[in-house]
C-alpha cells in the first residue's frame, strides 16, 4: 500500500467475528502488508474448492520473519474478535498455515513458496486486487 494512503486506526475497525470472507481476507492482507510481508497475494478460491473462500499467500524472507508475520496476523485478527480454527507450522518457520474457516492464510519462506508453488497450483483461482501490496 502506498505510504500516502490513509489507513484506518486498527482499534476503530469493526469486529471480524461474523464478517464476510472478503473483509477477513482484506484484513489479513492489510496486517501482512503492515508487517512488511512480501509477495502478498489473495486468491478467491470459493468456486475451486470446499476448503475456503479465500487463500492469502505471503512470503517472509527468513524463518524469524515468517513466524513474526504469523504471530502478527493471529494477534491483530484476534484483537478484532476472531481466533483461528487451526494453526499449523508455528515451530518450523518455513510454512505457517492459519485457518479461519472461510480464509486460509499461508505464510512461506522463499524456499517453501517456490517448492510448494501454491501460486501455480491455484493459478485458475481469481486473484483479488486489494490495492498495492509488495
pLDDT tens sequence across 18-52:
779 999 999 999 999 999 999 999 999 999 999 99
Query: For the purposes of burial, counting CB atoms within 10 Å of the CB of 128, is it exposed (0-12), middle (13-18) or buried (19 or more)?
Result: middle
Q: Is the pLDDT of residue 87 over 60?
A: yes
* Number of residues assigned to the chain: 134
Specify the CATH number of the domain 18-128. 3.30.460.10
Question: What's phi and psi for 21, nearest 5 deg?
Answer: -55, -35
Domain positions in the chain: 18-128
The SS3 of residue 23 is helix
Q: Is the pLDDT of residue 61 over 60?
A: yes
What is the per-residue pLDDT for 11? 52
Q: Which residues contact 119 (CB under 8 A, 6 or more apart)?
A: 41, 57, 113
Give the pLDDT mean for 98-121: 96
Q: What percent of the chain has pLDDT over 70?
A: 87
Amino acid at each position: 500500500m502506498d505510504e500516502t494512503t490513509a489507513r484506518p486506526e486498527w482499534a476503530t475497525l469493526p469486529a471480524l467475528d461474523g464478517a464476510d470472507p472478503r473483509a477477513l481476507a482484506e484484513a489479513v492482507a492489510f496486517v501482512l502488508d503492515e508487517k512488511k510481508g512480501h509477495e502478498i497475494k489473495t486468491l478467491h478460491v470459493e468456486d475451486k474448492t470446499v476448503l475456503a473462500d479465500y487463500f492469502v499467500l505471503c512470503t517472509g524472507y527468513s524463518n524469524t520473519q515468517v513466524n513474526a508475520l504469523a504471530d502478527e496476523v493471529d494477534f491483530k485478527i484476534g484483537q478484532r474478535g476472531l481466533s483461528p480454527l487451526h494453526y499449523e507450522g508455528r515451530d518450523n518457520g518455513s510454512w505457517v498455515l492459519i485457518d479461519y474457516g472461510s480464509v486460509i492464510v499461508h505464510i512461506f519462506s522463499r524456499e517453501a513458496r517456490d517448492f510448494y508453488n501454491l501460486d501455480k497450483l491455484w493459478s485458475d483461482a481469481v486473484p483479488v486486487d486489494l490495492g498495492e501490496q509488495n
